[in-house]
Amino acid sequence: MHYKNTLEFAREMDGSDPLKDFRDKFYIPIINGKQCIYFVGNSLGLQPKTTQDYIYNELENWANYGVEAHFHAKIPWVDYHDIFVEPLSKIVGCLLREVVVMNHLTVNLHLLLTTFYRPTKERYKIICEAKAFPSDQYALESQVKLHACLPDRQGLDPDNAIIEVAPREGEYNIRTEDIVETINKYANEVAVVLFGGINYYSGKVFDMKAITEAAHKVGAYCGFDLAHAAGNIELHLHDWDVDFACWCSYKYLNSGPGNIAGAYIHQRFITDVSLPRLAGWWGYDKENRFKMEKNFKPIPTAEGWQLSNSPIISMAAHKAALDIFEEAGMENLLKKSKLLTGYLLFILDEINANSNKKVGEIITPKNEEERGCQVSILMLQKGKEVFNALKKHGVLSDWREPDVIRVAPVPLYNTFEDVYQFGQILKHLIENVQA
Ligand SMILES: *Cc1c(COP(=O)(O)O)cnc(C)c1O
């Protein structure tokens, strides 16, 4: 694509964008009386205009039918979660029976680690990314401590059980070859390899296929936290042979703050009743669930990991958002995303080239295969001042200590004009804001 840093060009791109009508399906927050430039869909996706109706509908069902809505609502509540299987299987790339919507991301991570992290005296290590999202760090640390409570696991300690792979000196991103080398180095001691699908700080996409392959070669399980990947990049969990994964629905999936999350378990495990798990009645064989008998018999799909009955009000919001994904099509979104973020990278390069002093280092890989829509700019001058001023100028972005501004143009509702205007504002601020 031959990009141009002009308003005319940006408007031309928007005019010929096959997804241009989707922006109008979302509420865009207002700053200074104008729609803001919302570049924080990686943190909280915007509200679809249909969400309130979807929720209201279920409130009506509750009002009209009471408990009977479990069977008589238009989408009966007992099986409400089933409607997510198809759209999500396309978003994360898996078989229908491998995906389930339940709980929250960190809860699901714990449930999956309960199944897949079974440390023994010899095999007890977890390999993960250095500076993983804090919730993942705490989850891993507490999982190790949970097992360390057992009398025969004395000596198991997060300090020696958790091995972090970091970027090389002077680099910002972890190299795949270093991940593979670390896995091989601890070959017989590795129980689980757990990475993000995308590093939340730099926006780098991990090579999930290569990491899974390396983990399997040494006999370890491999899982991914897809918080920043689901709805943002192309995923093929099943074909990559990934063992387990989980994600949240409120970032790129636009389902509302803290809303219901998802999980994936490869089909080779879903009928294996010998695998340990934490169980609840909603994971019990559907035919016989209401017999309320002793002895847990799991549903032979990912649903077998469910604990509780479904929060329908939250799920209605998830449905409103996923219906829009279905309408737009993941392939179309990915196509636009590459163009849109490509444009942002072009604009940032222009600003750097035309300033007397380099403004920011782009720490997100430029290569389309290694990034989603998020771009992380390591600010080389006036970072915090520029960040604060961006908001006053109608741009919502986010700040990560010590000096990174993250911006994520989302293909469902951001425009090329957003990206162009952002460039204009950033350039103006760099030249005018006082350090
Ligand atoms: C956003 C995010 C989380 C958040 O976890 P919750 O359980 O949804 O609060 C966890 N991990 C990663 C990598 C994230 O980006």
Cα(312) to centroid of ligand 1, in Å? 22
Helix, strand, coil shares of the chain, percent, nearest 5, are 45, 15, 40
Q: In what order do the strands lie in the sheet with 221-225?
A: 99-101, 262-265, 244-247, 221-225, 190-196, 125-129, 162-165
Find tokens 């100028």 and name the residue.
393
**What is the residue with the minimal CA distance to atom 14 of ligand 1?**
227
Decide: 253 and 231 in contact? Cβ < 8 Å.
yes
**Based on the number of CB atoms within 10 Å of its own CB, is 65 exposed (0-12), middle (13-18) or buried (19 or more)?**
middle
CA nearest neighbour of 104 among 246, 237, 243: 246
Ligand 1 atom 10 nearest Cα: 135
Q: How far is the CA of 337 from the centre of ligand 1 (A)?
A: 22
Q: Position of tokens 């919507």?
A: 101
Can you tell me which atom of ligand 1 is nearest the CA of 107? Answer: 7
129 pocket-lining for ligand 1 (C-beta < 6 Å): no
Q: How far is the CA of 250 from the centre of ligand 1 (A)?
A: 10
Peptide bond into 402 cis (omega under 30): yes
In the reported structure, the alpha carbon of residue 85 is separated from the centroid of ligand 1 by a whole-number distance in angstroms of 21
Q: What angle do CA 340, 345, 349 make, to 5 degrees?
A: 145
Among protein residues, the one with the nearest Cα to ligand 1's atom 8 is 105
Q: Is the CB–ligand 1 distance for residue 227 below 6 Å? A: yes
- Give, in order, the Cα–Cα distances in Å from 174 to each of 10, 129, 147, 374: 34, 8, 29, 17
Per-residue confidence (pLDDT) for residue 149, from 0 to 100: 87
In 3D space, the residue among 186, 170, 82, 209 whose CA is nearest the CA of residue 124 turns out to be 186
Distance 43 CA to ligand 1 centre (A): 9
State residue 139's pLDDT score: 98
| pLDDT of 373 | 97
* Average confidence (pLDDT) per 10 residues, the chain, 435 residues: 96 98 98 97 98 98 97 95 97 98 98 97 96 94 93 86 97 97 98 96 96 98 98 98 98 98 98 93 89 88 96 98 97 97 97 87 95 96 93 96 95 98 95 84
Q: Residue 10 Cα, ligand 1 centroid: separation in angstroms?
A: 33
Q: Whose CA is nearest to atom 1 of ligand 1?
A: 227
The span from the CA of 99 to the CA of 383, in Å, is 41
Q: Name residues whose C-beta falls within 8 Å of residue 159's C-beta, 6 or more positions apart in sequence.
A: none
Pocket test for ligand 1, best of 133, 250, 259 (most atoms within 8 A of CB): 133
Position 98 scores a pLDDT of 98
Confidence (pLDDT) at 155: 82
Query: Is the CB of 225 within 6 Å of ligand 1?
Result: yes
pTM: 0.96
Distance 109 CA to ligand 1 centre (A): 10
Residue 106 tokens read as: 């960190």
SS (H, E, C) 11-45: HHHHHCCCCHHHHHHECCCEECCEECEECECCCCC
Residue 349 corresponds to which amino acid? D
Please work out whether the CB of residue 106 comes within 6 Å of at least one atom of ligand 1: yes
The alpha carbon of 246 and the centre of ligand 1 are apart by a number of angstroms equal to 10
Assess whether the C-beta atom of 259 lies below 6 angstroms from ligand 1. Answer: no
Three-state DSSP class for 221?
strand
Helix spans in 117-206 (H): 134-148, 158-161, 176-185
C-alpha to C-alpha distance for 20 and 16, rounded to whole angstroms: 8
Q: Helix (H, G, I), strand (E, B), or coil: what is residue 97?
A: helix
Index of the ligand 1 atom closest to the CA of residue 43: 1
Q: Which of 106, 129, 205, 253 for mutating ligand 1's site (highest number of atoms within 8 Å of CB)?
A: 106
Q: 32 with 422: CB under 8 angstroms?
A: no
